[in-house]
Amino acid sequence: MPIKLTIADDHVMVINGLKMMLEKQENISIISTNINGNELLKALETEQPDVLLLDIQMPGMTGLELSPIITKTYPAIKIITLTNFEESHYIKQMIRNGVSGYLLKNTNQETLIQAIETVYNGGQFIDPQMQKVLLEESLLGKKVSAYEIPLTNREKEILKLIAEEKSNQQIADELFISLRTVETHRLNLSQKLNIKNTAGLVKEAIKRGLIQ
Partner DNA sequence: ATCCGTATCGGTAGAACTACTTAGAATAGG
Partner DNA sequence: CCTATTCTAAGTAGTTCTACCGATACGGAT
Residues at the contact surface with its own copies, assessed by CB under 8 A: 11-18, 20-21, 35, 84, 86, 105-107, 162-167, 195-203, 206, 212
Asked if residue 178 binds DNA (CB under 7 A), the reply is yes
Strand, coil or helix: 24 = coil
Radius of gyration of the chain measured on its C-alpha atoms: 19
For DNA, which is the closer residue by CB, 33 or 67? 67
For DNA, which is the closer residue by CB, 27 or 169? 169
Give the residue, chosen from 167, 173, 203, 206, that forms a contact with DNA under the rule CB under 7 A: 167
Question: 37 vs 23, 43, 89, CA distance in Å?
Answer: 24, 10, 21
Asked if residue 196 binds DNA (CB under 7 A), the reply is yes
Asked if residue 153 binds DNA (CB under 7 A), the reply is yes
Give the residue, chosen from 15, 99, 159, 185, that forms a contact with DNA under the rule CB under 7 A: 185
CB distance 65 to 38 below 8 Å: no
Asked if residue 169 binds DNA (CB under 7 A), the reply is yes
* Long-range CB pairs of 197-205, under 8 A, 24+ apart, other chains included: 198/162, 201/159, 201/162, 201/163, 202/162, 202/163, 204/146, 204/159, 205/159, 205/160, 205/162, 205/163
Residues of the shown chain interacting with DNA in the complex, contacts defined by CB under 7 A: 150, 152-155, 167-169, 175, 177-181, 183-187, 190-191, 196-198
